[in-house]
Chain A
C-alpha cells in the first residue's frame, strides 16, 4: 500500500497534461533522440551532442556500462533506455513513466525490447534488484506545491528508500533534477504551476541530501545551471523555427505559451539564478545506520 506522503506528488493526470500534449509537437523542438531534460554542454556544439553527452554521463555515474539491469525512473521518450541497450548492450532496461504518449512512443519503436511501465516510482515492484538506477528530470514531479519542507523530505526519503531496496549491494544511483536556487518558495512562478507543470515543485539541495542520509553516500554533486539556459535556448529556437508546423498540430495559444515557458526557463537559470541544475551521484550504503522519519 502506498504511504500517504508519496501520493502527494504529481498525479497521472498532471503528468499527462504536460507530456501527453502531442508527441509530434515535442518532436518539432527536441533533439532527434527526444530527450526532454537539460543537456550537458561541456565540449558539445549541438543539442544532440549535449543530450548524448548527458546520457553517457549518467550511465557512467551509475556504473550502467557494466550493468545487466538498469532502471530509468521517468524515462521520457526512451532516449536513455535506447542508449543503454544500443550503445552499452545492457540486457535488461526498465523505464517508468506516467505518460501514456511516451510509453506508446517507446513501444512503437522497431526492435525495441526495453520494458516501459506506465506506473509511478511509488507503485513499482521489481521482481529482482537492479544494478543501476538513473533518474533524469523526474524528481521535480515527486512533490506537489504547498507542502511543508518536512512533507517534501518525507516523500524524497521514500524515494531513496525505494531505490535502496531496488538496488544491488553497492549499486549506484545517478540523479538529475532542477532545484531551487536564489528563490524563495513564494517566488515560484504561478505561470509554471498553472500552465506548464501542475502539481510539481522544486527541491532544495539540502532536502535531497537530508532525505538520502544513511541510505546513500553522496559521491558527487554538480550544478550545471547554465547548461539549462543553453538547452532551453536551443529548444526555443527550434520551436520558433517550426512555428508553422506547430500550428498544424496545436493552437496558437499553446505555441505562444511554450515559447514563454522556454523563455522563462532561460531567464530563471541565467538571469535570476532562481533555479539550479543538479546532477548527483549516489552510492548505496549496504548497512544503513538507521531508518528515520518513515512511518
Chain B
C-alpha cells in the first residue's frame, strides 16, 4: 500500500525531521540548502531515508540523499518516483 501525499507534505515532514535531528528551528531549515551545509551526518541521512520509506510505504535507496542534495530535490524525486509506480 502506497500512501498518497503531496510534495509540500514531504517537504514539511523532512523539514520537521531535520530540525528535530539537528535541534534547529523549522524555519531555519531551508528546502534549497544542501544537507551537507546543515552538518548532517551520513548515519542520520540513512536513518531519514528509512523513515521516509516507512512513512510513505515506498522503497528508497540509502544513497538517495547523496544523489539529491536538498529537501526540494528529494521531494521532487519521490513524487515523480511514486507517480511512475
CB distance from B9 to the nearest CB of A (A): 22
Judged by a CB distance under 8 angstroms, whether A256 is at the interface is: yes
A233, A237, A240, A267: the one within 8 Å of B46 (CB)? A267
Interface SS, B side: helix
Decide: A233 near B61, CB < 8 A? Known: A189-B43, A264-B43, A271-B66: yes
Count of chain B residues with Cβ under 8 Å from any Cβ of A? 13
CB-CB contacts of A226-240 with B at 8 A, as 1s and 0s? Answer: 000000010011001
Q: Determine the chain B residues whose CB is within 8 A of the CB of A272 once the complex forms.
A: 42
Number of residue pairs across A and B with beta carbons under 8 Å?
Answer: 39
B43 and A266 form a contact (CB under 8 A): no
CB-CB contacts of B51-66 with A at 8 A, as 1s and 0s? Answer: 0011000010111001
A270 and B63 form a contact (CB under 8 A): yes
B50 and A267 form a contact (CB under 8 A): no
Assembled-state Cα–Cα distance A237/B59 (Å): 8
Q: Determine the chain B residues whose CB is within 8 A of the CB of A233 once the complex forms.
A: 61
Judged by a CB distance under 8 angstroms, whether B75 is at the interface is: no
Task: State which residues 219-252 of A face B: CB under 8 Å.
Answer: 233, 236-237, 240, 243
Judged by a CB distance under 8 angstroms, whether A260 is at the interface is: yes
B43, B59, B66: the one within 8 Å of A260 (CB)? B43
Assembled-state Cα–Cα distance A260/B62 (Å): 9
Judged by a CB distance under 8 angstroms, whether B36 is at the interface is: no
Decide: A240 near B59, CB < 8 A? Known: A263-B46, A267-B46: yes
CB distance from A29 to the nearest CB of B (A): 14
Q: Determine the chain A residues whose CB is within 8 A of the CB of B66 once the complex forms.
A: 267, 271
Decide: A259 near B50, CB < 8 A? Known: A236-B62, A271-B66: yes
A267 and B59 form a contact (CB under 8 A): no
CB distance from A187 to the nearest CB of B (A): 11
B43 and A191 form a contact (CB under 8 A): yes
Assembled-state Cα–Cα distance A202/B40 (Å): 25
Assembled-state Cα–Cα distance A131/B78 (Å): 54
B47 and A267 form a contact (CB under 8 A): no
CB distance from A237 to the nearest CB of B (A): 7
A267 and B53 form a contact (CB under 8 A): no
B63 and A264 form a contact (CB under 8 A): no
Assembled-state Cα–Cα distance A237/B62 (Å): 11
Assembled-state Cα–Cα distance A267/B54 (Å): 20
B63 and A260 form a contact (CB under 8 A): no
A237, A243, A266: the one within 8 Å of B63 (CB)? A266
Known: A240-B50, A260-B47; 6 extra A-B contacts, CB below 8 A, are A191-B43, A236-B62, A256-B50, A259-B46, A271-B63, A272-B42
Supply 11 A–B pairs (Cβ within 8 Å), ascending by A. Answer: A189-B43, A240-B59, A256-B50, A260-B43, A262-B62, A263-B46, A264-B43, A267-B42, A267-B66, A271-B63, A271-B66
Closest 8 CB pairs of A and B: A263-B62, A263-B46, A259-B50, A266-B62, A271-B66, A260-B46, A191-B43, A271-B63
